[in-house]
Chain A
């Protein structure tokens, strides 16, 4: 009961969505479209779980006087402000947009841009000619970099051409094989799920 009912629900809905994709049967198509929105609504409601457990963790940290309680307090206060202001004024209100623009947006871009710094340090460390495979990785990366930035064509006009060839030919082959394999792997996972062998997603471990 605790497993069979949820498993049954999953099986029926997966098959319904697959049928929706491959067949034009008005009843199925409408049902599938409505279910899609319904599921998004349900996921959105789940955000409350996140808020509750986040609050729980940080309140426990403050009450238990554990390290970083100050940061936890800051977190809870900002969380409360953003929820209250948004709920009272509405998400489109200019003040709320202002908060979004000047607090969330810069932090979004600052965090994302750390990727640039970390790519540099990772490239320095990992792009070593340890083996022939590593050499292939390293050479392809350097050529494509030189093909992208104007500095490359200043050295040799062939870099953009060579870089484009790498992207168009070997890269196309590699990416295709990867995503074909992924589609096959995904099907295998789904069939394991539908046959009731892969139950991790129902919380029953392995």
Chain B
């Protein structure tokens, strides 16, 4: 009965998408399992992520704070994965600054992510063996309104003489304002977002940029955990599958064969 309903009412025009989603997921899951058996995947160097250490080093040397923001996103919808990826990077950053005793300021715009951020930072200080260095005043909700948040961050960057500014997560129209204000305040800057319209602004105003999907790979890359790295390899496998579809589809389209094009209409 239920099966009948599903078969008949399988939402129209999404068969191709569902098929590809299943294939991609299966490929990624297989690679994750393979890595558990000790197959350590190789990943090329990602300069912008490696630069995070450089930024922390500089803030430490100068004895000035490091500012981290996962952006204006929350846990709902389009911005959710970017916020999550940003928080994942924050965990690694917090562990390093805990070791070096560099002051850390984290700002954000969605109140519901505050508990998670506090939790992540606290645990990172604990993991680094320095729980006493955790400063709750560094975790700052600024405002729910986009440009009020921007105004607050810009103020903090200047007043607290931030030495390193890490913007990793979801950003919209405020990206250029925060990034350029950070530059004027003399901070070394790393920008990362998967909001395509905002990447150019990070490219012009930041020292290092994680372009689009590198944001999602950053947490896994920093963890150096083979299982997580396998997920990045999984991204590459899916990328190759997609490229193969594209090339084959275009070649067939050239000769007027619409086999693959028809599949994507299903």
Q: Which residues of A contact B (CB under 8 A)?
A: 18, 21-26, 39-40, 42-43, 46-51, 53-54, 57, 60, 68, 104, 107-108, 111-112, 114-115, 118-119, 121-123, 125-127, 137, 175, 178-182, 184-193, 195, 197-198, 200-206
Contact = CB atoms under 8 A, between A and B. Distances in A.
B176 to A, nearest CB: 5
Contacts of B196: 175, 178-179, 182
A111 B180 contact: no
Nearest to A43: B112
B88 interface: yes
Interface string B186-208: 00000000101001010111000
A23 B10 contact: yes
B111 A49 contact: yes
A192 to B, nearest CB: 5
A198 B228 contact: yes
B205 A189 contact: no
A206 B86 CA distance: 12
Contact of A192 (B74, B214, B220): B220
Nearest to B125: A205
B75 interface: yes
Nearest to A39: B76
The bracket for how many chain B residues form the interface is: 35 or more
Interface of B: 2, 5-6, 9-11, 14, 17-18, 21, 24-25, 28-29, 32, 74-76, 81, 84-85, 87-88, 90-92, 94-95, 110-112, 114-116, 118-121, 123-124, 127, 137, 139-142, 144-145, 147-148, 150-151, 159, 173-174, 176-177, 179-181, 183, 194, 196, 199, 201, 203-205, 211-217, 219-220, 222-223, 225, 227-228, 231-232, 234-235, 238-239, 242
A46 to B, nearest CB: 4
Contact of A23 (B6, B123, B145, B238): B6
Contact of A184 (B141, B203, B238): B238
B6 A25 contact: yes
Contacts of B203: 126, 137
B145 A186 contact: no
Given A184-B238, A198-B228, A205-B91, A189 B81 contact: yes
A126 B189 CA distance: 14
Contacts of B151: 107, 111
A34 to B, nearest CB: 15
Contacts of A181: 212-213, 239
Given A112-B147, A185-B216, A205 B194 contact: no
A46 B177 contact: no
A27 B130 CA distance: 50
